[in-house]
Structure 1
């Protein structure tokens, strides 16, 4: 059962400052700061997610966009931007079972900073300072395969700013996005 939640709203720094000034002056300006807000979606790159898990990974800004790319059979990626700055990269790949796609020694994960194995997502998962990766056995087109999903933060100043909170936010988002992403690519558990 999928529950659609009302998306959270993000405000740009100017909108927040304007709202604070308006509140402190007790002005009743209906809609003040609303035009620059973007709604945090409950679907990202065609995959349903809990907006509350996506929101901590997104900076304030005016506009959120995404661009999807089909990289061939069983391989998709998507770039999420805020105000034309790439902030989150998502990738999903169907691979052969037995491929160890998630390891703290993996160069890609090490590049994201201090990867550590975590529990509660797929068959195996790791979270690093700037990303997270998981893999799970599945069936794809009637064949035993595995789904590998990657969440990578791309901005120069990733959010949350503090590394422990960012790692927790990445894990929470991975738990929300990963199972739905695998199913969306036709890799059923």
Structure 2
């Protein structure tokens, strides 16, 4: 049986050895671009094993990517570049079903940006007329999605991701 004095020492020993949940190493890139650690870190839960996956789309110019932590999906994005057509108008009824607490926000890049507590939909305007970058972000299995103000953690991520993707595809300079 443990004595009362040994319980705090045991707790200190366990924390010093790193037992329990810990933060995963934040990847330096996502969807083929480098990202700031501070924009991605708030979207990642504690865990041990992070898998960062990406694949090019076949039917259109773009890619899809995802991150899982301890085999649980936590973040995904789809990026599509359209050179010669404008996006379809956003149906807010459908958007609000897919994005919790969805609202249109003013972003640092041109276009339309809708952010909710579990993801985002972005139509970023390109430099060439009638061209745009369509980016959708889904956050699941993360502390962000259950919080009504989760968009506050998602917005810095999209403000980092979207301009970098736009440059990568030649959408903007």
The TM tier, using the shorter chain, reads: 0.7 to 0.9
Please identify, of 40-49 and 122-131, the stretch whose mean Cα deviation from structure 2 is larger: 40-49
For residues 138 and 159 of structure 2, what CA distance do their matches in structure 1 show? 14
Partner of 2:4: none
> Matched residue pairs, number?
163
Instruction: Evaluate the alpha carbon distance shift between residue 135 and residue 37 of structure 1 in structure 2; reply closer, same or farther with a 3 A threshold.
Output: same
Secondary structure in 2 matching 1:120 = coil
Partner of 2:132: 146
Q: In the alignment, is the contact (CA less than 8 A) between 2:117 and 2:146 conserved in 1?
A: no
Q: In the alignment, is the contact (CA less than 8 A) between 2:103 and 2:116 conserved in 1?
A: yes
TM-score normalised over the length of structure 1: 0.71
Matched, 1:187 2:159: no
Greater gyration radius: 2
Structure 2: give runs of 5+ residues left out of the alignment.
Answer: 1-7
Instruction: Evaluate the alpha carbon distance shift between residue 70 and residue 37 of structure 1 in structure 2; reply closer, same or farther with a 3 A threshold.
Output: same
Which whole-Å deviations, capped at 9, do the CAs of 1:93-148 have from their partners, x for residues lacking one? 112443246x36162553122311000243110101210121222258xx851111
For residues 113 and 153 of structure 1, what CA distance do their matches in structure 2 show? 11
Partner of 2:3: none
Instruction: Evaluate the alpha carbon distance shift between residue 29 and residue 57 of structure 1 in structure 2; reply closer, same or farther with a 3 A threshold.
Output: closer
TM-score normalised over the length of structure 2: 0.77
For residues 131 and 170 of structure 1, what CA distance do their matches in structure 2 show? 7
For residues 66 and 130 of structure 2, what CA distance do their matches in structure 1 show? 28
- Runs of 4+ in structure 1 over 4 Å off: 21-24, 27-31
Partner of 1:18: none
Which whole-Å deviations, capped at 9, do the CAs of 1:139-158 have from their partners, x for residues lacking one? 58xx8511111111132xx3
